[in-house]
Chains A and B, each alone.
Chain A
Amino acid sequence: MLIKGETGDWEVVIGLEVHAQVISNAKLFSGAATAFGADPNTQVALLDAGLPGMLPVINRYCVEQAVRTGLGLKAQINLHSVFDRKNYFYADLPLGYQISQYTQPIVGKGSIVLDLPDGSSRTVGITRLHLEMDAGKSLHDQHPSKTYVDLNRAGVALMEIVSEPDMRSPEEAAAYLRKLRAILRYLGTCDGNMEEGSMRCDVNVSVRRPGGPFGTRTETKNVNSIRYVMMAIEYETNRQIEILESGGTIDQETRLFDTVKFTTRSMRSKEEAHDYRYFPDPDLLPLVLDQAWVDEIRSTLPELPDEKKARFMEQYKLSAYDAGVLVAEKASADYYEAVAKGRDPKIASNWVTGELFGALNRLGKSIEESPVSAADLGGLLDLLADNTISGRIAKDVFAAMLETGKSAAVIVEEQGLRQVTDTGAIEAAIDGVLAANADKVAEFRSGKDKLFGFFVGQVMKQTQGKANPALVNEILQAKLKG
């Protein structure tokens, strides 16, 4: 995507660093619990509080989760990796260093395929994924002069997933985050919940002339929603272009996103940047993995969004767009497959992506919270397929299902919505309509074809919409022409 400036076109270059909290019951090195929302400082082991003589011991499950994620990102798994200490002082970092991985991460190069709104796709490179421990949380708003520290989060396992600078628009960055989140959720390695902070994003942005060398980048830290990421990119892009066009230069610096003004502001310059004094953590041996163990994890990987999408297109003959929408969440895909089983896959897709998603959107509910189960939606489609109800009635029935939670069959029975397929009854209704509108019949017969719709409407009205529309058409045609 090119941006028109005063002095010509510009291209934005975006790379993202995502901190994804590993789904694990215990922290990365201490064994303390990780449940979200516990009372402050109730999930803190001696190590997490930085007591003297405490030592880290790697949590095997967190390593397994990182490997699983690496495999899901089609990435190189490094059988030999090293934990380093990243040294800096802060009140919520009890050890005075964060245990991270610097030069030898557990996962190397991989890739993510983006599904863009126009149905096309684009590949973004993954530079690396490494494991590290989270810091605690500083609470500055609890006391007028004091800062409170909650160490529940201190030591929780994070995966830092670094992309290549391969994205060229805020929309691509959003697509990347959505896809990454989908993959993590499919894998069960991170819940991807940005509001709770279990997925956080640092945004690297630079601008350049199309095809030119990379410009100087800025890094905007801890942006905690996809919408904010897009806003931060938008703002940074414009800010940088403005500076460059007025003859200035971009400072390589760390910036913060202001969630009130939707702007970014400088946090610290390159000169003020921390010297983290990375060095291998002498308390931990290099992490050496067995290829057989990695293969074992690989064999348990679930079907991931890309494969599922391809299968949906192949197996159900869905469009790339529909398939993409359905696989965006594993729960949606599962729901769809339950509905589509033994039914027309296209009709199932239309109902799930149309009526159901529309309704959930209105209700602000997730697919997991859907008031209509996949089985019940399937039941509705069955009534439609065997002509028990018409398409129009089906929509009303669906609305009633959402409301009452009852099954389609029950609603149809209770409200007597069963479609009339008795030709005698339909004929009687048509005869009544034609008799009552003899003038219109004459007009029709003299060539006013458009009145056909009027007659259909009248018949449907007579039958409270329950008459089978195909039969109505057929009999009406015959009688009018007759």
Chain B
Amino acid sequence: MTDLTRLSAAEALDGLARKDYSAVELTEVHIRAVEAARPLNAFVVETPELALEQARASDARRARGEAGPFDGIPIGVKDLFCTKGVQSTASSRILEGFVPPYESTVTANLFRDGAVMLGKLNMDEFAMGSANITSHFGPVVNPWSPGTLAQHDEAFAAEGAAAELVAGMGQPRPRQEWTFTRKLVPGGSSGGSAAAVAARCVMAATGTDTGGSIRQPAGFVGIVGLKPTYGRCSRWGIVAFASSLDQAGPMTRTVRDAAVMLRSMAGFDPKDSTSVDMPVPDFAAALTGDIRGLRVGIPREYRMDGMPAEIDRLWEKGVEMLRRQGAEPVDISLPHTKYALPTYYIVAPAEASSNLARYDGVRYGQRIDGTSLKDMYENTRAAGFGAEVRRRILIGTYVLSAGYYDAYYLKAQKVRSRIKQDFDEAFKRCDVILTPTAPSAAFGIGENTDDPIQMYLNDVFTVTVNLAGLPGISVPVGLSADRLPLGLQLIGRPFDEETLLRAAEALERAAGFEALPPFMAGAV
């Protein structure tokens, strides 16, 4: 039998439909893969029992002919999503032990369509970070990190009669041990999601993207990451970071999988006032392979000083790949691009400083007592939040303060409208926009940490999309000189994920990215 962890979700759906294997079989294989991938630290919580229960229910539905469009697919869920009865912490100490009595709309939609949850995925604390190094549960390791595989013979641990019995069963079991020679970051904040999908321990994962948190890690691990249009997926039940920017999306190994999974995630939710009441199309049906005449905008402002030449070359290659399939490259200008990062780092912390005020130790999560209410707040929040979260709360509080509001927050909102106008203008001349996903390939854990600004630069190509509320997707296109994945980003018109996905699939096909990470669950 083929290794079930190597299948795309779409292939697995076909196999399940043909009864080649059951959802329980598919899930069991992945439960073992999750265990094998523990060195990546991708999971905060593993939920094998829940997964098997869901898989059994999935098989029963399929037997009754009631299988949903994502039925039986084992996925991981970013720890930012509240999952009923399963600890949900946003990878923060302050929420350690918090078990929500409710299910986020997006995960509820996925379960409605038959998804099976293998566990909760590690992430940057409160989704603040671009390297998955700010998690309370430790950093996630990129499965593309170089390493060596050594084989040991497992010594029998048993004694007496048990040892005899084990010995009687035959051969000593070889144990393979993977040693990383250099640990790379998977990107962030959806680093656990990215690593788990790339390492083949989940078929797909949910991510959230506030400034690039789906697309940049997808680029760093060589998978597909789609941030839908703001309002496409409900934010209800997702721990809020920056409400006007946050959007959930699929992280998958193929564009088709992203299309299929998005259909199950998306939809109007009356519980989220910013969710948009529009029909959810069959995104996969839009993958016609035909991009003839598609106008692809190439924004000149995204050609940054000091950007590695290989990123530039990859971008040009991407343009060529689309051109060869009949698309028409168009030079466009997004003049306010250079203000995007500063704008983002005012708007997002401002909203975060308010959104995170509820973590005060009064009602749930961690509490460190004090001699007064104020003392308790200070103790709880000082101990509960990590350094990056505290930094952003401080920035956000500052930019909203009396006397600074106009100069920072209000100004940032004005620039934000200009950035949105840039895109409105650009989309009069093109149908999608092609850019690099990130200005570099994955870097080592511990690098880029001295200067937060250096870290923030990771989001330079992705934050504009959040500020404008547009859909964006990262597609793996090639490898760096160090044999690390590099992605390109396509940006679409609001609520035109169909065109975006069609272009992304064309790019994916032309790129033919088939490299696999050195560390994979099934290979160890």
* Chain A contact residues, CB within 8 Å of chain B: 46, 49-58, 85, 87, 89-91, 94-97, 147, 149, 275, 277-279, 282-285
Contacts and interface: CB of A to CB of B under 8 A. Distances in A.
Contacts of B224: none
B362 A91 contact: yes
Contacts of B131: none
Interface in B380-398: 397
A284 B273 CA distance: 6
A55 B272 contact: yes
Interface in B95-140: 95, 98, 100-102, 104
B273 A46 contact: no
B362 A94 contact: yes
B363 A277 contact: no
Contact of B400 (A87, A89, A91): A87
Contacts of A87: 353-354, 357, 400
A53 B238 CA distance: 5
Interface stretch (B169-177, B258-266, B401-409, B452-460): B401-409
B373 to A, nearest CB: 6
A87 B354 CA distance: 7
B144 interface: no
Given A50-B363, A282-B243, A282-B244, 14 more contacts: A52-B88, A52-B98, A52-B100, A52-B239, A53-B82, A54-B236, A87-B400, A97-B354, A275-B401, A277-B397, A277-B400, A279-B409, A285-B273, A285-B274
A95 B405 CA distance: 21
A52 B244 CA distance: 16
Contact of A53 (B104, B244, B357): B104
Contacts, number: 99
26 contacts: A51-B82, A51-B100, A52-B82, A52-B95, A52-B239, A52-B240, A53-B104, A53-B240, A57-B271, A58-B273, A85-B354, A87-B354, A87-B400, A89-B357, A91-B373, A95-B357, A275-B402, A277-B354, A279-B350, A279-B409, A282-B242, A282-B243, A283-B273, A284-B273, A284-B274, A285-B274
A51 B355 CA distance: 11
Given A87-B354, A89-B377, A285-B274, A279 B100 contact: no
B195 to A, nearest CB: 24
B102 A55 contact: no
A96 B358 contact: yes
A420 to B, nearest CB: 75
Given A51-B364, A53-B237, A53-B239, A279 B354 contact: yes
A50 B363 CA distance: 8
A317 B34 CA distance: 88
Contacts of A49: 363
Consensus secondary structure, chain B interface: loop
Contacts of A97: 354, 357
Contacts of B405: 277-279
Nearest to B356: A96
B90 interface: yes
B128 to A, nearest CB: 15
B123 to A, nearest CB: 14
A53 B235 CA distance: 7
Contacts of B409: 279
A279 B238 CA distance: 21
Contacts of B356: 96
Contacts of A58: 273
B387 to A, nearest CB: 21
A56 B273 contact: yes
Contacts of A275: 401-402
Given A52-B82, A277-B400, A282-B244, A94 B354 contact: no
Q: Nearest 7 CB-CB pairs, A to B?
A: A96-B357, A277-B400, A282-B244, A282-B243, A50-B358, A53-B237, A52-B239
> Would you call the interface of chain A mostly helix, strand, loop, or mixed?
loop
B401 A55 contact: no
Residue of A50, A53, A90, A95 with most chain B CB atoms under a 10 A cut-off: A53
B293 to A, nearest CB: 36
Residue among A50, A55, A91 with max Cβ neighbours from chain B (10 Å): A55
| Residue among B98, B273, B377, B405 having the largest count of chain A Cβ atoms under 10 Å | B273
Interface string B480-497: 000000000000000000
Interface in B61-113: 81-82, 88, 90, 95, 98, 100-102, 104
Contact of B360 (A89, A147, A279): A89
B270 interface: yes
Interface in B342-368: 350-351, 353-354, 356-358, 360, 362-364
A47 to B, nearest CB: 9
Contacts of B353: 87, 277
A353 B356 CA distance: 58
B521 to A, nearest CB: 30
B235 A277 contact: no
Given A282-B242, A283-B243, A55 B271 contact: yes
Contacts of A94: 358, 362-363
Nearest to B239: A52
Contacts of B243: 282-283
A272 B368 CA distance: 26
Contacts of A282: 242-244, 274, 351
B364 to A, nearest CB: 7
A284 B82 CA distance: 21
A149 B364 CA distance: 14
A279 B101 CA distance: 30
A96 B240 contact: no
Nearest to A83: B273
Interface string B239-251: 1101110000000
In this complex, which of B240, B357, B400 has the most chain A Cβ atoms within 10 angstroms of its Cβ?
B357
Contacts of A51: 82, 100, 102, 358, 364
B91 to A, nearest CB: 13
Interface in B211-254: 235-240, 242-244
Contacts of B273: 55-58, 283-285
Interface in B396-455: 397, 400-402, 405, 409
Contacts of B104: 53
A91 to B, nearest CB: 5
Nearest to A57: B273
A374 B27 CA distance: 77
Contacts of A95: 357-358
A96 B354 contact: yes
A296 B51 CA distance: 53
A96 B274 contact: no
A202 B251 CA distance: 53
Contacts of B272: 55, 57
B482 to A, nearest CB: 38
A88 B416 CA distance: 26
B350 A46 contact: no
Contacts of B357: 87, 89, 95-97
A88 to B, nearest CB: 9
Contacts of B102: 46, 51
B104 to A, nearest CB: 6
Contacts of B351: 279, 282
A284 B243 CA distance: 10
Nearest to B231: A285
A283 B241 CA distance: 12
Contacts of B81: 53
A345 to B, nearest CB: 53
B136 to A, nearest CB: 15
A284 B235 CA distance: 12
A152 to B, nearest CB: 15
Contacts of A90: 373
Contact of B401 (A53, A54, A277, A284): A277
B396 to A, nearest CB: 9
A59 to B, nearest CB: 12
Contacts of B239: 52-53
A457 B402 CA distance: 81
Contacts of B402: 275, 277
